[in-house]
Structure 1
Amino acid sequence: MMQFSTFGSSDFVLIKPTHHQNRLINCSKLLFSSTQHKNNSVGFNLSKHKANHRSIFVSKSKQESFEFDERKSPNEVKEEIKQCYELINRLGRGIVYLGSSRMGSSHSHYVQAQELAKEIANLLDSTTWSGAGPGLMDAVTQGALLAGKPVGGFKIGREAGEWTASNFHPYLPSENYLTCRFFSARKHGLVDAVVRNNSFDKTAVVALPGGIGTLDELFEMLALIQLERIGSKLPVPFLLMNYDSFYSKLLDFLDVCEDRGTVSKGEVASLWKVCNSNSEALAYLADFYCISSGDISQKKETKLQSTHDLPS
């Protein structure tokens, strides 16, 4: 029988195989090794600041293997949280995106998320933060880069999708993201990146369509806002992007919670803004931060002028 021992706050699970299972694992390693040599590169289709796409190949031989070792001391988590805070202090607080790592560039939600990130980065003139992974996280990274705004990320060593078990981002500068070993440290980073310390900070939480990981982060953020751990000093807008009614059944369930008395009437609706389109989200943020249409037009003119000033 496989023996399991867990440790920490759901950061990792250590699996201790028996003697017979060790023999099976060794055989599996040999099989995997022979397969790996036959295909030692992974391709990424990435759009840069131009409309065209090009492929970037990352050699697997250059990828660092991600070992899920048992942590020896809580100081290891503390040190990683410190590194998260240092990265935020360097790049600045801003818009934190949550979303699926599985929706590729051909998905309509990818296109919408990329455009949304570009427009919000221009509107709030803030750093864009994400999980620095594939899927919709890649979409918002590229959107912010298209806007010419700073991008930061808290990557995890293991992602669903095409960047599985890679500690590296294929095109972000290494100084702009941190590959976290501990989920708890990564969450500390995502939370701290959105907390407003003064009225000049323009931040937001934007929850895009996603799966289990997204729902985990979404409800943790929502609970922290509910308990005023986020927004106790200055309020932080939380946008739930309900593209193609993606979250409608979840919203129906929350209505059931209100009917059953586990959630107060109107409580959830007061904590976030449900948006069915990008235009609705942009209008809400402009109103939240009292950004007039004149200010938006001026920003566009300034950006257009700076583009014309670039040498041809």
Structure 2
Amino acid sequence: MSGRREKRRGPTLLRGDQVDLTTTDQRLLDSRGPTDWVHTDPWRVLRIQSEFVEGFGALAELGPAIGVFGSARTAVDDPAYAQGVEVGRRLVEAGFAVITGGGPGAMEAANRGASEAGGVSVGLGIELPFESGLNPWVDVGVNFRYFFARKTMFVKYARGFVVLPGGVGTLDELFEAVTLVQTQKVTSFPIVLLGVDYWSGLLDWLRTTVLPDGKISPADLDLLALTDDVEEAVALVAAGTVRP
């Protein structure tokens, strides 16, 4: 029946009155309430383990892939949506699978471009209070309860990231990737911001406020490339480098 509420909890689909207002992550991280966590948390380890096993099993033979981040709120008639479709298509033409968060908006656009180009279109979904599930352009989809398990899959199986305009979630993914490269927790890989007008203010703030205050080094800024050109963005991630 159309119009019913729907959300995913890992591999489980909930609709209507079965949709709850909390997430598995929230319950794991919430330290308030009764002390029954002493008895339940050890069992959660098995569920967490299962998410890693499921993700590794689904993606182990994926081959070269690039992660594409961007807002779930990007409308279909937004120029950023068309740009996302082009990113997905060109990445496939360059020999890559495309990995997104599997949601609507910019994520759907990149998945659509990859699928229409005949490539492998991957979506890594996450349980949210109200979630419509994976977009219809995902060919290989894995739904996660825990953000940290999902993020591990992005970092492990992507050789670089293209970042379309986005909000809090996109910024979280962007800065986590930069942090992992900066701290050498992962092998250095390119991170390309697509959208000069959108991202310039952020880069200017890093360059004129954060850098002079000694909170980052000049080399940290070199971890990010900025362009409006999809072809250039794909070339940068394909080459495994970013320009200074």
User: What is the TM-score normalised by the length of structure 1?
Assistant: 0.62
Q: Which runs of 5+ in 2 are unaligned?
A: 7-13, 29-39
In structure 1, the partner of 2:191 is 238
Q: Percent identity?
A: 27
Q: 1:183 to 1:147 in 2, by over 3 A?
A: same
Q: Which residue of 2 aligns with 1:172?
A: 138
Superposition pairs for residues 1-312 of structure 1, below 5 Å?
39-40=3-4, 65=19, 68-69=23-24, 70-71=27-28, 72=40, 73-123=44-94, 125-158=95-128, 164-170=130-136, 172-173=138-139, 176-194=140-158, 203-231=159-187, 235-241=188-194, 243-255=195-207, 256-264=209-217, 266-285=218-237, 287-288=239-240
Task: Decide whether the 8 Å contact of 2:100 with 2:123 is kept in 1.
Answer: yes
Q: State the Cα distance separating 1:94 from its structure 2 match.
A: 0.6
| C-alpha contact (below 8 Å) 2:103/2:133 kept by paired residues | no
Q: 1:142 to 1:167 in 2, by over 3 A?
A: closer
Paired residues in the alignment total 216
| C-alpha distance in 2 between matches for 1:82 and 1:117 | 27
Tell me if structure 1 keeps the 8 A contact 2:124–2:143.
Answer: yes
Question: Is the radius of gyration larger for structure 1 or structure 2?
Answer: 1
Q: Is the 8 A contact 1:116 1:143 kept in 2?
A: yes
Rounded to whole Å, the distance in 2 between the matches of 1:279 and 1:285 is 10
Confirm or deny: 8 A CA contact 2:67 2:161 kept in the other structure: yes
Q: Which has the higher contact order (CA 8 A, sep 6+)?
A: 2
Distance 1:187 1:61 in 2: 26
How many Å apart are 1:116 and its aligned residue? 1.6
RMSD of equivalent CA atoms: 2.7
Describe the shift of the 1:74–1:147 C-alpha distance in structure 2 as closer, same or farther (beyond 3 A).
same
Q: Helix, strand or coil for the counterpart of 1:247?
A: helix
